[in-house]
Structure 1
Amino acid sequence: MRIATYNVNGVNGRLPVLLRWLAETRPDIVCLQELKAPSEKFPAQAIADAGYEAIWHGQKSWNGVAILSRVGTPVETRRGLPDDPDPSQSRYLEAAVAGVLVGGLYLPNGNPRPGPKFDYKLAWFDAFIAHAAELLASGAPVILAGDYNVMPTELDVYKPERWTDDALFAPEVRARYASLRAQGWTDALRHLHPGETIYTFFDYFRNAYARNAGLRIDHLLLSPALAGRLTGAGVDREARGWDKTSDHAPTWIELSEQAPRTRSASGSRPSRAAKPA
């Protein structure tokens, strides 16, 4: 099973890119972020014609998340976080799909820092961490996939010294990501590619994609019930180079039907893993 996350940066404006990627890679389950469209404007028919059932949580002009599946109907279990500091913002959607509980998220950017947007980011992150702990305690097979808007380590950002004042690299934000991981979640991409330079976001400016001057801010975290089934993880980096594309690249994992007896990074499938430019 292949599960992917993709910040589309406008689902209607980037629809040809999204449909091309779906047709070429055929992921089984996809979490989308930044729909930038109210719920009634979600391109449900085009998604269905591509072979996917979907649920979505839209918002006019901003935010918005969706879960797509071609392996069974997504059964919604939650829309928005418990104790969400601003329920008017569409940032979290959760569904049971093909025996897996999928949480799709778009964590706030938080800039400028300091300020109310950064305070909101921290408050949302805290609410998310609390909910993640409850999910983990359930023992269910859970994946939390989306745009986290955080670079966890210096390895996850091109020229980290330039980002010291940014909300995506702030010590408080990185500490919260580490706290989340410490609950028992596996960062799938980093687990299988521990020392590699892999980015999932490339700014539109300064020729960032061609220079491989990116950030790793799109993450897929696995509960222990799923971590043992992890066989592959990578980034469809080439999609970032397509015409009129998002500034994010789709990021994905592959899960076996059952947990293998042994597993290591060397046993992962490298065919589509990201490579430095």
Structure 2
Amino acid sequence: VRGFPEDTEADQKRVIGANIEGVMILNLYVVNGKAVGDEKYDFKLAWLEKLRAMVAVSYPMTEKVVLTGDFNITFDDRDVYDPDAWREKILCSTPEREALAAVMKPGLVDAFRHFHEEDESYTWWDFRTRGFQRGNGLRIDHFLVSKPALDASEDVWIDMDFRAGEKPSDHAPVFLRMK
């Protein structure tokens, strides 16, 4: 799978998928959206609707299904270092969270929260504000899994050592261990 079924050659390909040893995997990059109300924000919401439709039609929740990548959306206040400062801002707005919930509605769950319900862990920090050094992060990189995939999972973790290295990404890698 590369992109959505209706995509043309000119469309941005933000989805790549494969079936590996009985696990249906979709790796994706959800556009940042720039700012609530911006045309890129509207593109993001429309893109999430296309993802929702594709998942609902092509990915049966009776199978091991894993969606992973940079979603550029927090689920709730546990995923935000300062919820009041970020409330209804990009990455934390109600429409974004509702769109993500709609993608998950057929039966996907946040694997990280399954294993680490109350953990304050982040996957992204803004370089411009020295966010990593100050602990000011967001959790926007996720593993969304079907029940069969969750049952086959042992843990999800964020590799903070990688993020603390020399010249790192502004994201820390997230890993899902399956049996």
CA drift at 1:249: 0.3
| CA distance in structure 1 between the aligned counterparts of 2:82 and 2:26, rounded to whole angstroms | 31
> Alpha-carbon deviations, 1:77-106, whole Å to 9, x = none?
x11013459952121101122221110100
| Aligned position for 1:124 | 47
Q: Structure 1: how far apart are the matches of 2:132 and 2:81?
A: 11
Which entry has the higher C-alpha Rg, 1 or 2?
1
Give the 3 Å change call, closer, same or farther, for CA 87–147 of structure 1 in structure 2: farther
Alignment partner for residue 155 of structure 1, among 70, 78, 92?
Answer: 78
Q: Secondary structure in 2 aligned to 1:137?
A: coil
The one-letter amino acid paired with 2:51 is F
Paired residue type of 2:55: A
Matched pairs, number: 179
Residue 81 in 1 paired to residue 4 in 2? yes
Say yes or no: does 1:234 pair with 2:164. Answer: no
Q: Which 5+ residue runs of structure 2 have no aligned equivalent?
A: none
The residue that corresponds to 2:137 in the other structure is 214
CA distance in 1, matches of 2:8, 2:112: 29
Superposition RMSD in Å:
1.8
Query: Partners of 1:187 and 1:218 in 2: how far apart?
Result: 10
Normalization by structure 2: what TM-score?
0.92
CA contact 2:18–2:26 (8 Å) conserved in 1: yes
- Match among 154, 159, 179 for residue 102 of structure 2: 179
TM-score (norm 1): 0.61
- Quote the residue 1:115 is aligned against: 38
Please, which moves more after superposition, 93-102 or 119-128? 93-102
In the TM superposition, structure 1's runs of 4+ consecutive aligned residues that sit over 4 Å from their partners are 84-87
Identity fraction in percent? 34
| Alignment gaps of 5+ in structure 1 | 1-77, 257-277
Conserved? CA contact 2:79–2:121, under 8 Å: yes
In structure 2, distance between residues paired with 1:130 and 1:86: 20
CA deviation after TM superposition for structure 1 residue 165, in Å: 4.3
**Aligned partners of 1:111 and 1:166 also within 8 Å:** no
